[in-house]
Amino acid sequence: MSTYAAGERRAARVPVAVLYVLLAVAALATILPFVWVVSGSLRSLGDFRADPGAWFPTAATLENYGALFSGEGFGVYLANSLVVAALTVAGNVLAGSLAGYALAKLRFRGKRIAFGAVLVALMMPFAATFVPQFMVTVNLGLVNTLVGVAAPLLVLPISVFIVRQYAASVPDELLEAARIDGASEWRIFRSVFVPLAGPALATVTIMAFLASWNNFIWPLIVAQQSSTYTLPVGLAATQQAAQNVTNYGLVLAGAVVVMLPVLVLFLFLQRYFVQGIAATGLK
Amino acid sequence: MAVTALLGPGASRTRRPRAGSRHSVVAWAFLAPFAVLFLLYTAIPIVLSLVTSFTDMRGTDLRNPFGVDVVGLENYVTILTDGRFLRSILNTLVFVVIGVPLTMGIGFALALALDSGIRRFRTVFRGLFYAPVVTNIVSVALIWQYAFNQNGTVNEVLGWLGFAGPNWLGDVGLAMPVVILLGVWRNFGTAMLLFLAGLQAIPDDVREAASIDGGGRWRQLRSITLPLLMPSTLLVSVLLSVFYLQVFDEPYLLTNGGPLGSTESIALYTYDQFGFGNFGVSSAASYVLLILVVVVSVVQFRLLRSRT
């Protein structure tokens, strides 16, 4: 028995070293693009001309970041992205939690249909609906507005789904007690459920922010003037404009500005990101 | 809300509605914002898209719906005889058939590595592998363009080794592999996370029983881990296939479908036709994509289910 166990352990020890090598190689491949973008954003135009493919700047400079925000565009795109993200997060936290709570805790006619709608929305391929979504937006007069950019994301099915799953774990007795006390359903939602729903609402906030901040095709379609561009659309436009001059430093600085907020959030709130993804897997 | 306040708990005591509909008014009030957005941005579009695909609707008809004529299946005939569209179907299938197994393979290998025995830096590795998933695609595509440029960082390395690197994204044969590589880099973290959740759900005593029975690591993997992981495998493969069938961002940003249409996907074709103002053609193309998505998910569910 003991010799067998020792043999097992010895056999297992070799793979552990192999595992770390495998993980380190994968980590390097994952990190490399991040290294390139940060290092490239710190290189001057002259530096690029001298050796376009160099991995590191000869003399690091912040001039690209200065140039990025000295023009009018990027400040506007940043403000637009923040407005759209704020609308999206507010919509999902408020309306998403109301809908999710209702689906989990209230008894009503048409509940199956409502939940079916959540699933359909969850699985609907965006590429199959963006043309008619644009027609709807035109008819609502929302083309070239930030509300138009945010509208399809205001109550994401995944938000409803996350809150529904969470609400199902809240004991009915808590809500019944409030009902017996004569509280209205809104009071029960507001004063009994919401204070308990912190973790679910945190996940919803993160998922909504991510969906909004990283959204690309829809703002590309709806925002047709640079005054309503969000950061990704503005960045893609900057890149297309800069392609002729190959001013990579400027474009890469823009890339850093666009990706940084999410990566910083991710660094601190990894747990909630992971829960959000796990929720999509629960379907 | 006001209605419930009026009826109150007393009303339910006197009227006793059916058990299934106790909160109908409140519940639908709670669901109203979701319902309105669902109608506007999912339900109506599904119908509108199908209707539009049988008409000659153009962008200029948006404000004048009476100028639109029904043309039957003409748009479907147009796209199915358009070499560009057929090529985009082929490209999309190549992206799925190569991209999905690659993404799953890497995700599975990393999940397995993280799940078996290592303790140090586990969370760090997991977070790192997941970082590409949350990173903005426009930013990432820019880095990719910069790296795979004729004079980019990738060719710089090839230069150190004495090779003259190709113009990756301008080459008909090489552009697609780079597009696929970006897709894989961006998504293997999701596969890893879902596999990791699946692996952690396998009870330890099952594995212990297997190793006591004298099964080696390889046997254990093949006859215990993989079969028990089937639900995760099914989930990951369906999620990724459906997602990859809709591929748009990567080719749009890296190559805009080029060179010579070698990286144009169905979604990108749809978007292009939309950009030309051919709403009818675009809708027909998007319905072909929708049918593909439904067929692929149903077939995969059947296949993988029958194996478990």
Lowest mean pLDDT among A101-105, A210-214, B199-203: B199-203
Candidates A129, A244, A260, partner chain B, best to mutate (most B CBs within 10 A): A129
Q: Do A135 and B62 touch (CB under 8 A)?
A: yes
Note which residues in 153-212 of chain B have CB less than 8 A from chain A. 153-156, 159, 185, 190, 193-194, 197, 211
Q: Do A15 and B136 touch (CB under 8 A)?
A: no
What residues have CB less than 8 Å from A244, skipping those under 6 apart? Answer: none
Q: Do B41 and A53 touch (CB under 8 A)?
A: no
Q: Do B20 and A154 touch (CB under 8 A)?
A: no
Candidates A41, A135, A256, partner chain B, best to mutate (most B CBs within 10 A): A135
Cis, peptide link before residue B259, omega less than 30° from 0: yes
What residues have CB less than 8 Å from B162, skipping those under 6 apart? Answer: none
Q: Do B37 and A133 touch (CB under 8 A)?
A: no
State the pLDDT confidence band at B210, using cuts at 50, 70 and 90: low
Please compute the mean of the pLDDT values over residues A13-29 and round it to a whole number.
81
Q: Do B33 and A155 touch (CB under 8 A)?
A: yes
What confidence score (pLDDT) does residue B307 get?
59
Note which residues in 237-256 of chain B have CB less than 8 A from chain A. 239, 242, 245-246, 248-249, 253
Lowest mean pLDDT among A69-78, A266-275, B14-23, B65-74: B14-23
Q: Do B143 and A107 touch (CB under 8 A)?
A: no
State the pLDDT confidence band at B298, using cuts at 50, 70 and 90: confident
pLDDT in tens, A239-248: 777 665 567 8
For domain B84-307, is the CATH number 1.10.645.10?
no
What confidence score (pLDDT) does residue B104 get?
96
Per cent of chain A over pLDDT 90 is: 35
What confidence score (pLDDT) does residue B7 get?
39
pLDDT above 90: residue A148: yes
Query: By the CB < 8 Å criterion, does A85 face chain B?
Result: no
In Å, what is the CA distance from B34 to each residue of A124, A131, A136, A146, B42?
15, 21, 16, 19, 11
Q: Over chain A, what is the mean pLDDT?
A: 84
pLDDT above 70: residue A11: no
pLDDT above 60: residue A87: yes
pTM of the complete model beyond 0.90: no
Contact A99, A165 (CB under 8 A): no
Please compute the mean of the pLDDT values over residues A101-120 and round it to a whole number.
90
Please compute the mean of the pLDDT values over residues B7-17 and round it to a whole number.
43
Range A252-270 burial, b when 16+ CB lie within 10 A, else e:
bbbbbbbbebbeebbeeeb
| B203 or B51, higher pLDDT | B51
Q: Over chain B, what is the mean pLDDT?
A: 84
What confidence score (pLDDT) does residue B153 get?
84
Q: Do A262 and B136 touch (CB under 8 A)?
A: yes
Lowest mean pLDDT among A148-157, B98-107, B137-146: B137-146
State the pLDDT confidence band at A176, using cuts at 50, 70 and 90: confident
How many CB pairs (< 8 A) connect A and B?
299
A22/A14 Cα distance (integer angstroms): 13
pLDDT above 60: residue A102: yes
Query: By the CB < 8 Å criterion, does A121 face chain B?
Result: yes
Q: Which of B43, B246, B282 sits opposite A131 (nearest CB)?
A: B282
Please compute the mean of the pLDDT values over residues A271-282 and round it to a whole number.
66
Q: Do B23 and A180 touch (CB under 8 A)?
A: no
Q: Which of A22, A52, A131 sits opposite B274 (nearest CB)?
A: A131
State the pLDDT confidence band at A76, using cuts at 50, 70 and 90: very high
In Å, what is the CA distance from A3 to each residue of A67, A236, B218?
68, 63, 21
Query: By the CB < 8 Å criterion, does B42 face chain A?
Result: yes
State the pLDDT confidence band at A154, using cuts at 50, 70 and 90: very high
Contact B34, B271 (CB under 8 A): no
Q: Which of A29, A102, A182 sits opposite B9 (nearest CB)?
A: A182
Beta bridge partners of B55: B70
Instruction: Output the six-digit token pair for B177.
Output: 């592999």
pLDDT above 60: residue A4: no
State the pLDDT confidence band at A119, using cuts at 50, 70 and 90: confident
Note which residues in 138-197 of chain A have CB less than 8 A from chain B. 138, 140, 151-152, 154-155, 160, 179-180, 182, 184-186, 189
Please compute the mean of the pLDDT values over residues B87-112 and round it to a whole number.
95
Query: By the CB < 8 Å criterion, does A224 face chain B?
Result: no
- Using CA coordinates, name the residue in chain A closest to B132: A30
What confidence score (pLDDT) does residue B301 get?
72
Q: In degrees, to the nearest 5, what angle opens at C-alpha B164 toward C-alphas B161 and B167? A: 130
Domain-wise residue ranges, chain B? 84-307
Please compute the mean of the pLDDT values over residues A76-96 and round it to a whole number.
95
| Distance in Å, alpha carbon of A162 to nearest chain B alpha carbon | 14
pLDDT in tens, B143-187: 898 889 888 888 888 888 888 888 898 889 999 999 999 999 999
- Using CA coordinates, name the residue in chain B closest to A103: B27
Q: Do B266 and A133 touch (CB under 8 A)?
A: no
Candidates B13, B34, B53, B273, partner chain A, best to mutate (most A CBs within 10 A): B34
Per cent of chain B over pLDDT 90 is: 35
Note which residues in 61-90 of chain B have CB less than 8 A from chain A. 62-63
pLDDT above 60: residue A75: yes
What confidence score (pLDDT) does residue A79 get?
93
| Distance in Å, alpha carbon of B83 to nearest chain A alpha carbon | 20
| Distance in Å, alpha carbon of B128 to nearest chain A alpha carbon | 7
| Distance in Å, alpha carbon of A283 to nearest chain B alpha carbon | 9
What residues have CB less than 8 Å from B227, skipping those under 6 apart? Answer: B308
Radius of gyration (Cα) for chain B, nearest Å? 26
Contacts B190 to A, Cβ<8 Å: 277
| A165 or B87, higher pLDDT | B87
State the pLDDT confidence band at A61, using cuts at 50, 70 and 90: confident
Lowest mean pLDDT among A108-117, A191-200, B196-205: B196-205
Please compute the mean of the pLDDT values over residues A90-119 and round it to a whole number.
92
Q: Do A19 and B113 touch (CB under 8 A)?
A: yes
Collapsing DSSP states into helix, strand and coil, what is residue B88? Answer: helix
Contacts B42 to A, Cβ<8 Å: 117, 120-121, 124, 129
pLDDT above 60: residue A125: yes
Candidates B47, B136, B220, partner chain A, best to mutate (most A CBs within 10 A): B136
Contact A186, B1 (CB under 8 A): yes
Q: Alpha helices of A42-145 — where are they, by DSSP H?
A: 45-50, 63-70, 73-91, 97-105, 111-123, 130-139
Query: By the CB < 8 Å criterion, does B269 face chain A?
Result: no
